[in-house]
Chains A and B, each alone.
Chain A
Amino acid sequence: MKGAEADLSAATYQIFNETHTLGNALRWMIMKNPKVEFCGYSAPHPSENLIQLRIQMYDGLSSLTALLTALSDLDSLFESIEKAYEASLRDDTYVRWDEKS
């Protein structure tokens, strides 16, 4: 989008067909990167099905690289949640009860 640095050290990305679901989690993961000066996202209008993600980097680093790193990290986060959940279902002792529908 307009307002991006030529070297992509600061840029806004428009992501179509995504909502707060991905936006907030991704923003959090990008902010976990110490090379990131600023990261924020917004859903500009409820009738437009898109979000805008702003990333600003220190030291002229590429924001696109930071985005890709965050995506990989987020994927491994959800993978470990899956594994931990499956392990708990398999091994843990939990209450099984009969619910009438």
Chain B
Amino acid sequence: MSAHASTSFDPRKHVGVLAERVTNVSSTDFPGYSPDEDFSWNLAKFKKRLRVQVKRLSSRSIEFDLIGVDASVANALRRILIAEVPAVAVEYVYVWNNTSVMVDEVFSHRLGLLPLNIDPALMEMKASATDTATDRNTIVFKLQVSCTRNAHAPKDSIDPKQLFINSEVLSSHLEWVPQGEQADVFPQLPASTNPNIVLMKLRPGQEIDMELHAIKGVGKDHAKFSAVATASYRLLPQIFLNPTKPVPPHLAEKFAGCFSPGVIRVDPRTKEISIDDEKLRTDSVSREVLRHPEFEGCVQLGRVRDHFIFHIESEGAYEPQRLLLESTRVMRQKIADLKKAAEALMAVNVDDEDVSMADA
């Protein structure tokens, strides 16, 4: 991080953050942009600058820094995470019986949104909506719940959970029905990642009996197939203090209060101001400091153009540390596909008319 700590604003490296607008947004690292510099693609140079640092990891989320790439690359990874990394979700619901208060369609939609713990790599994608369901591309669940009165409920109870049995349909009520050789293929019992999701409430006499078919899909088809809960990045904030106009000692605490807690350190004795490089990444860049006329000229705000702080949350089958690799895998597959189509185009004789390659 300290490799980035610069003392002054550089329009090449930084994006400026002003009170009501941002400056120097576009990258300018292209050949021909400035006369005596070579910006042409160089893998060795890129690798030297590239840094990926995992910062925080839990069972549900990961935070890492991706340094030295263009916004188009970081954005491609983010977009693929949301829309094109495959996931498994309930797609078909066959309702044999539903005497609950909820309409079939509404309940089916809810079932679709359930996060499942099935590793998409173990399944095949259906070629089309009319493709036959096989044990390779479909997971079957049974959902049979009926609500009855609890004969042993305490006399004066008014709590439905005590009065009735199965007063709530929970995600844990989904019962996997292995098809073909699935029982050997799936190491972990297919179920929802969270067993406590309330799907619907039932009262005595009401029951549901359904069969659910889960398939593999991608987020661009329906958000329920999105492999991530959230995937986002932000640029590393930068604060440039003006050495020629230091913050007056009596205003030091007020100055520090304009930033996120801990970002600005105030020397308890001299009231001198410094920036905590480790905490700097947590700054919200609220621009509060730019509202106060007494701090005018003391400070300049910016962000590092090629330092992306990624935050990815997973709610489904993927472990969070696996998601970025899935994203690059999808991207490289896209590149390979297009390359094949372009090579095929190279092989045919191109003249003025449109040429089309089926696989493109």
Contacts and interface: CB of A to CB of B under 8 A. Distances in A.
**Dominant SS at the A interface?**
helix
Given A24-B75, A31-B30, A34-B31, A68 B346 contact: yes
B72 A88 contact: no
Given A1-B354, A21-B79, A80-B46, A28 B338 contact: no
B321 A74 contact: no
Interface in A1-34: 1-2, 4, 6, 8, 13-16, 18-22, 24-29, 31-34
Contact of A81 (B50, B334, B343): B50
Interface residues of A, number: 55
Contact of B346 (A64, A82, A98): A64
Interface in A52-80: 64-65, 67-68, 71-80
B59 interface: yes
A89 B58 contact: no
Contacts of B350: 4, 8, 64
Contact of B50 (A33, A71, A80): A80
Contacts of B328: 78-79, 81-82, 85
B50 A84 contact: yes
Interface in B21-58: 30-32, 38-41, 43, 46-47, 50-58
A28 B72 contact: yes
Given A32-B40, A97-B58, A92 B53 contact: yes
A16 B335 contact: no
A101 interface: yes
A45 interface: no
B19 interface: no
Contacts of B168: none
Given A74-B335, A79-B332, A81-B66, A98 B59 contact: yes
24 contacts: A13-B342, A14-B354, A21-B75, A22-B335, A26-B338, A28-B70, A31-B30, A31-B31, A33-B41, A36-B31, A76-B43, A78-B328, A78-B331, A80-B46, A81-B52, A81-B69, A86-B325, A88-B64, A94-B54, A94-B56, A95-B57, A97-B57, A97-B58, A99-B58
Interface of A: 1-2, 4, 6, 8, 13-16, 18-22, 24-29, 31-34, 36, 64-65, 67-68, 71-82, 84-89, 92, 94-99, 101
